Amino acid sequence: MAPETDPPFRRIAADLRRRITSGELAPGARVPSNRRLAEDWGVALATATKALTVLRSEGLVEARPRVGTVVAAAPAPAGPAAPRPSAEEGELSRERLIAAALGIADAEGLAALSMRAVAARLGVAPMTAYRYVTSKDELVLLAADAAFGEAGYPADPPAGWRPRLELGARTLWSLFRRHPWLAELGPVTRPLLLPNLLTHAEWALAALDGHGLPAATVLDIHVLFYSYIEGLAANLEREARAQAATGLTGDQWTDTRFAAFDTRIAAARFPVFTRLTAELDEGYDLDLDTLFESGLTTLLDGLTPRIEGRA
């Protein structure tokens, strides 16, 4: 137990260390989130974060993709040291840098991706990575292009513009599902001319082409189509961050808010909202995959008269 004179972050770290070493928190068990620690100990969020940073540096806890901080597995018995790959010997490559960048962004989000983090994952000096890419921005774009290239399209497209757009939408959604950080790359007003992203654009534009629409209208519809997918996908990464920070799933968080919601007061000010929520006997299941399919159908239904009316 840390002395009371120790800084708060050290006392928090000592308490968690005791719970881990005693077996109270087993390997793989979720560690209280930064926010929960801050609330339980009455400290600032930065203090709680510093405590977990100490434990992470000691190898007692680790970040788990889309889960949060968990107790690290016990180290395996030491054996003969394996030779460490050396960038000087040619093992490092642009492809390895991109793969490492993808792994970090997928596990911890785009904010965690840096040249230093990639170098640390590969076991090389940070400056070594700059032999293969000029900057973090270039590495992010290379990783994004690789991610968008993980799925393609058949040589023979399905008949009809609508089935083709449906396939394109579901293909993009699957990639955003696999790599949620892709939805944070930038606004549609600054399009990324990545070769593999342009492959998806070409598929959609070819579906819209040849129906008598002006070129600007075809491009507008494509931007609307892509923005719908990307905009909905942005919530995948936001939910992952929120769950890691609070330790609560979306359903659990909503339950805590509705538990404190006074329907009697709200009924007079928000009558429709209050009535609709009251009609949900089993609650409202906000599932992004279901919402994606529903929205896609609505979007395509709206485009049908505009496209087929000119064919």
Question: What pLDDT digit, counting tens, does each position of 85-98 carry?
Answer: 443 434 788 999 99
| Residue 258 counted as domain residue | no
The whole-chain average pLDDT of the chain stands at 84
Q: Tell me, what amino acid is at 168?
A: G
**Tens-place pLDDT, residues 201-213:** 999 999 999 999 9
> Same domain, yes or no, for 116 and 207?
no
CATH number at residue 224: 1.10.357.10
> Same domain, yes or no, for 177 and 213?
yes
Are 92 and 100 in contact by the 8 Å Cβ rule? The answer is no
> Same domain, yes or no, for 204 and 232?
yes
> Same domain, yes or no, for 182 and 284?
yes
Q: How confident is the model at residue 246 (pLDDT cuts 50, 70, 90)?
A: confident
| Residue 303 counted as domain residue | yes
At 302 the pLDDT is: 93
> Same domain, yes or no, for 177 and 302?
yes
CATH number at residue 50: 1.10.10.10
Are 61 and 52 in contact by the 8 Å Cβ rule? The answer is yes
At 38 the pLDDT is: 83
Residue 80 has pLDDT above 50, yes or no: no
At 78 the pLDDT is: 44
Are 14 and 24 in contact by the 8 Å Cβ rule? The answer is no
DSSP the chain: ---TTS-HHHHHHHHHHHHHHTTSS-TTPBPPPHHHHHHHHT--HHHHHHHHHHHHHTTSEEEETTTEEEEPPPPPPP-SPPPPP-GGGT---HHHHHHHHHHHHHHH-GGG--HHHHHHHHTS-HHHHTTT-S-HHHHHHHHHHHHHTT----SSPPSSHHHHHHHHHHHHHHHHHH-GGGGGS--TTS----HHHHHHHHHHHHHHTTSS--HHHHHHHHHHHHHHHHHHHHHHHHHHHHHHHHS--HHHHHHHHHHT--HHHHHHH-HHHHHHHHT-TT-----HHHHHHHHHHHHHHHHHHHHHTT-
| Residue 14 counted as domain residue | yes
> Same domain, yes or no, for 109 and 205?
no
| Residue 229 counted as domain residue | yes
Tally of domains within the chain: 3
**Tens-place pLDDT, residues 16-51:** 998 888 888 888 888 888 778 888 888 887 788 788
| Residue 85 counted as domain residue | no
Are 71 and 25 in contact by the 8 Å Cβ rule? The answer is yes
Q: Supply the range of the domain harboring residue 112.
A: 90-148
**Of the ranges 67-76, 136-145, 155-164, 179-188, which one carries the lowest mean pLDDT score?**
67-76
DSSP 126-156: HHHHTTT-S-HHHHHHHHHHHHHTT----SS
- Whole-model pTM: value is 0.69
> Same domain, yes or no, for 139 and 165?
no
Residue 77 has pLDDT above 80, yes or no: no
Nearest to 20 by CA among 5, 35, 31: 31
> Same domain, yes or no, for 144 and 166?
no
**Tens-place pLDDT, residues 177-186:** 999 999 999 8
At 86 the pLDDT is: 44
**Mean pLDDT in residue range 231-238:** 90
Residue 69 has pLDDT above 90, yes or no: no
At 251 the pLDDT is: 72
> Same domain, yes or no, for 141 and 167?
no
> Same domain, yes or no, for 143 and 167?
no
CATH number at residue 130: 1.10.10.60
